[in-house]
Amino acid sequence: MQNEVVSREKWLEARRALLLKEKEATKLRDSINAARLALPWVRVDKDYVFDTPEGEKSLADLFDGRSQLLIYHFMLGPDWEAGCPGCSFLSDHVDGALPHLNHHDVTWVAVSRAPLDKIAAYKRRMGWKFPWVSSFGSDFNFDYHVSFSPKDLAKDKVFYNFTPIEPAEANDELPGLSAFYRNDKGEIFHTYSSYARGPEELIGTLMILDRAPKGRNEEGTMNFVRRHDEYEEAKAPSCCH
């Protein structure tokens, strides 16, 4: 279906009306960002150990000498053959941002429950460079409500995105983003987490598509997304968000 075709003058009138809404959205985003920065923090007292290519590391070690840490909860379970297409889509946008994040005192790390060799193989396949570690054998994913055991999924409700949800709406792994701060005394604080479509603004491709004539042109949330090496042979929609 084609949109209405009008004169340049009528288009300009409609565009100016939309511009007002866009400015409102920008101001709202600024307000939300300020509220996010004002959130209270929670001290992290539990010790977590992660498997990394350099050996076992603590949560403090993952900061890599910086004061801020962003952890992307990448959906790749111990028994999964490949990473989540949606998580892969987001992760395609990370490597180019790393120098800017690191220069601004921020470390980015992906964490999955899959063992390190499985993570390394999928990382090679995708051609990514960002740090990616395994929380296999750790409570980390469970404590931050992105992994669910069979026992969890057998309950009436599981806790995801700050809300009890039906197990049928969940999975053994779900996506999310968590932020941490480490002060000069070495104390670590959990400052923020976001789940489901919360980290969507990190996906630059979606922001670009939103400006294209057909927008995202999707039948369901990101149903058009494939792993970047699967577009030629892709036949059926698949996404886990």
Q: Which whole-number Å values give the CA distances from 129 to 125, 148, 163, in the listed order?
A: 11, 28, 34
- In this structure, what token pair is assigned to residue 81? 């053959």
Instruction: Check: CB of residue 44 under 8 Å from CB of residue 188.
Output: yes
Report, as ranges of residue numbers, the positions in the chain whose pLDDT lies below 70: 233-241
- In this structure, what token pair is assigned to residue 6? 């009008």
Tens-digit pLDDT profile for residues 218-231: 999 999 999 999 99
Residue spans of beta strands (DSSP E) within 156-217: 158-160, 163-165, 176-182, 188-195
Q: How far apart are the first and last CA of the chain?
A: 28
Round the CA-based radius of gyration of the chain to a whole number and report it.
Answer: 20
Per the listing, tokens 């789940």 go with: 195
Instruction: Check: CB of residue 205 under 8 Å from CB of residue 96.
Output: no
pTM of the model: 0.91
| CA nearest neighbour of 144 among 44, 68, 9, 27 | 44
For residue 145, how far is the Cα from the chain centroid?
Answer: 14
pLDDT of residue 232: 78
Average pLDDT, the chain: 94
pLDDT of residue 234: 47
Tens-digit pLDDT profile for residues 61-91: 999 999 999 999 999 999 999 999 999 999 9
Residue spans of beta strands (DSSP E) within the chain: 42-43, 49-52, 55-58, 68-73, 106-112, 132-134, 158-160, 163-165, 176-182, 188-195
